[in-house]
A and B are shown apart, each in its own frame.
Chain A
């Protein structure tokens, strides 16, 4: 990600530029639309309320992704979430004992949750391992390990040699 000159964002620009980013991270991790929407709204409200002066676009982007990851972690560890079973869980359709090769959507739904954010940030957001470690507040070693294991699991689920 190259640094662009920072410009003040209107609500419309903020939504156009960052709501898909936040929404996709939340969806990749949580796998359902209502939670992804809630997270997107919470993060953007936090942005509007914050008085942080961002040095550049990279700084703002990283801040938003970090807040998104924290919001997701808060949601999944909240006692309410632990007691709730979503009715429209996307991944519900896929069974654990499926033996045929899955498509990417199914494979991501079956992928253990801890691998989802690092894989998404690395492959979709084009973030470096260092940047992922920064926004997920973990070490580079942990990120490397999660990416490697996540890739192996996806490969295994997709059962295609050319994914290597």
Chain B
């Protein structure tokens, strides 16, 4: 197309355009549409954020549930090791291994009057006051384990009574004990060759 035709075309098209009245009504329409579009965007954003929050909550819930299930199954797998108590009732939490983690249930053998005592002293007091049986074993299993004699119990009680917390870790062979008290609570503990005492439910050592 020649420059002349292009010029004429552009001159003609420059005269073409939307009228003023139309532009006013168009502006109103677009303002209304803009408001509606903004509220739609906000609503969409809220929906997306809600979905994300719900997703996070769901994931947290699943993780929490999985942890509970895992914790329960671990507790249950610990039970067979305690099937050595000759049919006596074992309360949950008392079944953890000798070096189990701290928990309230692990200390439910501590009576109210012993709460202020250091752990070994409290155990010594209970051994002296309300012990039914004290089973002795070379492993942390007490199936058919023999019971400790009075002398041995007395010796252990004395040792516990004078024990204090130590940084020394158990060395050498260990003897494992399971004390069953007259209120059907029980506690496990061990004494290593180097004299270090471990009591079920605490990571601490005593000597």
Contacts and interface: CB of A to CB of B under 8 A. Distances in A.
Contact of A49 (B10, B18, B33): B33
Interface residues of A, number: 36
B33 A20 contact: no
The interface residues of chain B, by DSSP majority, are classed as helix
Given A123-B10, A163-B5, A45 B29 contact: yes
The interface residues of chain A, by DSSP majority, are classed as helix
Contacts, number: 78
B17 interface: yes
Interface string B9-35: 110110011110011001101110110
B2 A163 contact: yes
Interface of A: 11-12, 14-15, 19-20, 23-24, 27-28, 33, 36-37, 40-41, 44-45, 48-49, 51, 104-105, 108, 119-120, 122-124, 147, 151, 154-155, 158, 162-164
Given A45-B30, A123-B10, A164-B2, 19 more contacts: A11-B27, A11-B30, A11-B34, A12-B27, A14-B30, A19-B18, A19-B23, A19-B26, A24-B17, A37-B26, A40-B26, A45-B29, A45-B33, A48-B37, A104-B9, A104-B12, A108-B9, A124-B10, A151-B5
